[in-house]
Amino acid sequence: MSQPSPLNLTRREMLKLSAGSATTLAAPAALGGVQPGDPARAPVMADVRLTVNGTPQVLKLDTRVTLLDALREHLHLTGTKKGCDHGQCGACTVLLDGRRINACLSLAVMHDGAEITTIEGLGSPEAMHPMQAAFVRHDGFQCGYCTPGQICSAVGVLKELAQGHPSHVSTSLEGPVKPNDEEIRERMSGNICRCGAYSNIIEAIQDARGSHA
């Protein structure tokens, strides 16, 4: 049977109080020493130099800003879309020094001095990029939200094929890669189309590839 403590607390009550005290003492340490009433820490800012769609840009950014938010919120290039913000849908795909990346997963400060191409830099309604024109010809979009990322990714795919980079479904790790539909589907698998225009997208990419063959 539990004996009362000098404070008239049972052993069970003492254990509960001890556990609560330990949690309270550990909390500030877990938060990096921040306690209620401490002044807010100012964000760390940095100058980031980018060449975006051929135009040099110098941005003063919080070091936590993603490349996607730098493009959309600071340069107002809203063609690049924010979809999942977790690198799972591909709507934010841009070309970084000629290679496709998910802009939502990359901090802008990581790419100081880089060259970025967004959908706005590929072409215009008056002078469309061959890939943009192919998407129009083959109805490679419906709602259009994923389309900028699809097109940027597709341009990157054609460059990968031309350079002979193998993919998971390539039959050989050396030599030319056969640009069949299966190869293109695999390479475009990171770009999600919720409207389901996948067959038309493949046709558009093959059409555009033919214009560069």
Residues 130 and 84 in one domain: no
The token pair that represents 196 in the structure block: 């389901």
**Residue 17 domain-assigned (yes or no):** no
Residue span of the structural domain in which 206 resides? 126-213
What pLDDT score was predicted for residue 213? 44
CATH no. for residue 115?
A: 3.10.20.30
User: Contact 49/56 with Cβ under 8 angstroms?
Assistant: yes
What is the C-alpha to C-alpha distance for residues 204 and 213, in angstroms, rounded to an integer? 14
Please state, in angstroms and rounded to a whole number, the distance separating the CA atoms of residues 197 and 88: 18
Choose one of 87, 106, 122: the last residue of a domain.
122
Token pair, residue 45, equals: 């800012």
Q: Which range (10-24, 65-79, 100-114) has the least confidence?
A: 10-24
In this structure, are 76 and 151 located in the same domain? no
Whether 74 is covered by a domain: the verdict is yes
Of the chain, the percentage scoring pLDDT greater than 90 comes to 74
Alpha helices per DSSP H over the chain: 11-30, 67-69, 119-122, 130-137, 147-162, 181-187, 198-212
The answer as to whether 27 is a domain residue is no
Instruction: Answer yes or no: is 10 within a domain.
Output: no
Residue 31: inside a domain: no
pTM here? 0.80
Whether residue 146 is found in the same domain as residue 186? yes
Q: 3-class DSSP state for residue 58? A: strand
**Whether residues 203 and 136 fall in one domain:** yes
Q: What is the pLDDT of residues 67-77, one digit of tens each?
A: 999 999 999 99
**Residue at a domain's end among 122, 151, 183:** 122
Phi, psi of 96 (to 5 degrees): -110, 110
Whether residues 161 and 211 fall in one domain: yes
Using the 3D structure, point to which of 76, 95, 122 is the last residue of a domain: 122
CATH code, 157: 1.10.150.120
* For residue 118, pLDDT beyond 90: yes
Q: What is the count of structural domains for the chain?
A: 2
